Every structure is written in structure tokens, then in C-alpha cells.
A and B are shown apart, each in its own frame.
Chain A
């Protein structure tokens, strides 16, 4: 069983705000890809610690602030 540490992060995508710019998927291909119209497919919302830096960069790259990183509640 996986133990959720208080440092675990999860991705939260606001589907209404998202405009399909696709910048996020380029920076975080391990967790995000794009459909044929450029809208993200979230493969896993849980961000493993080794991807935290990439995830932060992806969040910062979204021009409409549709992507966020939340602390997973323990």
C-alpha cells in the first residue's frame, strides 16, 4: 500500500479555463499528453516527488492559470 506523505502533490486541471494551448504537456509528458485538438489528457494526477520540479514548470507555463498543484491531503 502506498503511503501518502504530506509532501505529495497532485495536479488539478480546470477544464473550463483550459484553452488547449498544450504548453503543459510539453513540459510534463510523463503525466500529461494532448488529444488531437490539443486538450490535455491527465494520465495520473498524483505527482511523484521526482517530477515535482517539472510539474511546477508546467503549471507556470499555462497562460490561463488552468493548471494547479495541490497538496494531497494525508
Chain B
């Protein structure tokens, strides 16, 4: 931790000193101080907060829907081996498509407002949860399932008391990927066409060649991403108390 903070401090110091020392133009890489000024600008800051809230609404809604759908479909599919055999190749195929590329189409279909962004986020959050949860559910120890069956467990009991808890580590791996994907999805969807959001602000700042503002927005975006990731990892630690080796 101390080492990591030291590295951060060195990077920040170099960021402040190097652009001036190497005569890098301000519009290419501004020194840290100018970025901080842009970040804390009393006029701009409320706009940052407002638009960050818009982006996080897209991310939050999309994650919620995508995760619920991913979990539900994974649980359903693993209980229907026949259907699973037919559907799984398609899941693998779709998973390997760069799905953000579909974002422009969603803007055509669902407009410039919130829905098109949420749909992109759902699509990006859904697959990692689906694939990882399936993986977790299918790898539950056969003997444990047999143990439950021998003791007269119902299908519901097997799911709730065995399969889902046993798949928790993989479910959380899926969630971590989903969270990272969700941020990407929201920003790309905003780039493609939106009225608000951090992606819109980045494009606007870029259009005016306000590079310090672009960096300020990237910092906000990174902070939000790190916060979300941390949240998932804490939840994992809190829920999966048995994972320690």
C-alpha cells in the first residue's frame, strides 16, 4: 500500500514537472496543476457532478437489469441441459463480438435519451455475468448435488442452498467484469449520441481543445470506476467469507 502510494506520488510529481520541462504543448498534456484547476473550477464543477450523475444512472440501471437477467438466464439454462446445448454456442459467439459496436444502432432504435444508454450497458453487463455464472453452476461438485438428492432436497433447495452459494466466486468474477464493462458501455453510448453525461462533456471539451478539462473528466471517470470496482470487491469479501486460503 505504501509502495503503491509512493508510485502515485512520483507519477503526479512527474506529471507536474515534465510537460513544462520538455516543452510539451499545453493542449497535448497540460501540467497537473492546470488539470486540478479545471477540475475544481467553480462554474464547471456543478456541471461535472450533474453529468456524472447522469452517467452513473445509466450505469446503475443497466447493471441492475443486466445482472438480474444474466443470473436468471444462467440459472434457467443450467437446469435445462437440452436447451443449454442448443443455446450455448450462440452465447459463446455473441460473447466474442465487440458489443459496443452495436451502440450506434441502439441510438437509432431508442433515441438520444436514457434508454439507448441503458440498453448498451445491459448488453455489456449481461454477458460476463451469464457466462461466469453458468461456469460456476456447472462446476458444482457432483457429489454435493448427490448428497442433497439423497437427502430428499427439492430442486428449489438445491438451487438456493447449494448451487447459488457454491457459484458465488464465479458470480462475483462476472460482476467485476460487468462493472468495468458497464462504464465502457455508458461512455461509448454517450459518445455516439447523447444530451448529457460525462461522455458528452469529454466530447465538448475536446471540441474546444480544452485538454485540462478532458483530463479532469477522465479523472472523475476513473474515480467512479475505481469506486464501483472497490464496492464489488468489498461485497465479495463480505459475502464469500469462506474463500480465504
Q: Do A and B come from one complex?
A: no
**Residues of A that sit less than 8 Å from B by CB:** none
